[in-house]
Amino acid sequence: MDALKTTLPYIISGISVGGQYALIAIGYTMVYGILRLINFAHGDVFMVAGLMMVYLAASLPLYLAIPLVILLTVALGFTIERVAYKPLRTAPRMSVMISAIGVSYLLQNLALYITGGLNKNYPAIPWISDRISIFGMETSRVTVITPFLTIILVAALVQLINHTKIGMAMRAVSRDFETSQLMGIQINRVISATFIIGTFLAAVGSILFFTNYPGVVPTSGAMPGLKAFVAAVFGGIGSIPGAVIGAFIIGIAESVIKGLDTILIVNGAIDEQIGLATFSDAFTFVLLIIILVFKPTGLFGEKSTDKV
């Protein structure tokens, strides 16, 4: 019982972080699935969504600010695709990737210019940032809501992909870009839809993430973006359930490793600190290397079917 009580907070916080990573990871994995592009700017779009909220909530009531933030973030994702990626549709894949890196730095530096590099306090959203107590541990409501909201959104997304016309088009495009074009699928519309869905989820993820960890700086998107990317690769890039499961695994593992010293000490396994917490980030990236070595397609990734 005691062991459970000391371990539970780490698991819950890990699940919550995992849910937030999952929402970002879907954006990476969907774009990759369709364009074979790693959208490096995705993490920064997430950060910009956070900043928009800071500025909009200062002048608008929250019930207006939240939908507006989501709308503007989606518009940003759409614009980035149209301006920075679409003109490079026929260019080598590397060019698009470099363009993505450029957009990433552009967003970071714009944010640096606007905020002056200072930490911006994220507005507290009533109800979801309230303090609650579950199983004798104190936390905020958002920690508990995140995983459920993530699963609901992912379920809806899977429905959309499997049972709608645009979803079918997306699946077709991810199979074969050129052939689906020949079959009359309007490729630009499909790609835009992908970016819209991806950034929508990133915007929701940003609201949850920053409500939980209320500080936005220009580099706020970098680490969560990177972790979400690792999650997407871990789960098999291109696979939505894979990205979600990968994100949860990474979130929980990270959180447990940070507390492992304490868990072991409290349960009497070791006597003093051994400094495991330091390796929480290293673990994520070691995991990435291991999965790339032993199962390059990730947990749920499809075997590549490049035919010569």
Partner 1 sequence: MKKVLSLVLVLAMIVALGASAYADNPVVKIGVFEPQSGDNGAGGKQEVLGMQYANVLTPTVEIDGTTYDVELVYADNASSNDKAPTAAQTLISSGVSLVLGSYGSGVSIAASDTFDAAGVPAIGVTCTNPQVTAGCDVYFRICFLDPFQGTVLANFAKNELGATKAYCLAKQGDDYSGGLCNYFIDAFGKDACVYEQFPEGTSDYSTYITNAQNQGCDVFFSPVSTEAAAQIIAKADTQALGMPILAGDTWDSNVILQAAKGTNVKICVTTFYQEGADPDFDMGIKYWMNNNPTALANNGGNDELAAVTVMGYDAYYVALEALKAAGSVDPADVLEVLPSVTYEGVTGAIAFDDIGDALRDSAFVKECNTELGVWDFVAVATVD
Binding residues vs partner 1 (CB under 8 A) = 6, 9-10, 13, 17, 112, 116-119, 121, 129, 131, 137-140, 143, 209, 212-215, 217-220, 222-224, 254-255, 258-259, 261-263, 265-266, 273, 275, 277-278, 280-281
- The residue (of 129 and 297) whose beta carbon lies closer to partner 1 is 129
Residue 279: CB minimum distance to partner 1, A: 9
Residue 152: CB minimum distance to partner 1, A: 23
Residue 43: CB minimum distance to partner 1, A: 11
Rounded distance between C-alpha atoms, residue 159 and residue 155, angstroms: 6
Rounded alpha-carbon distances, angstroms, from residue 90 to 78, 87, 175, 178, 223: 19, 8, 18, 11, 31
- The residue (of 58 and 155) whose beta carbon lies closer to partner 1 is 58
Residue 202: CB minimum distance to partner 1, A: 15
Q: Are the C-beta atoms of residues 254 and 280 closer than 8 Å to each other? A: yes
Rounded distance between C-alpha atoms, residue 28 and residue 15, angstroms: 20
Q: Would you give the distance in Å from CA 65 to the centre of its chain?
A: 21
Alpha helices in the chain (DSSP H): 2-35, 42-59, 62-80, 93-115, 141-163, 165-175, 177-182, 187-212, 222-235, 240-266, 280-294
Q: Are the C-beta atoms of residues 230 and 287 closer than 8 Å to each other? A: yes
- The residue (of 108 and 239) whose beta carbon lies closer to partner 1 is 108
- The residue (of 123 and 298) whose beta carbon lies closer to partner 1 is 123
- The residue (of 8 and 158) whose beta carbon lies closer to partner 1 is 8
Structure tokens at 7: 């371990």
Residue 190: CB minimum distance to partner 1, A: 33
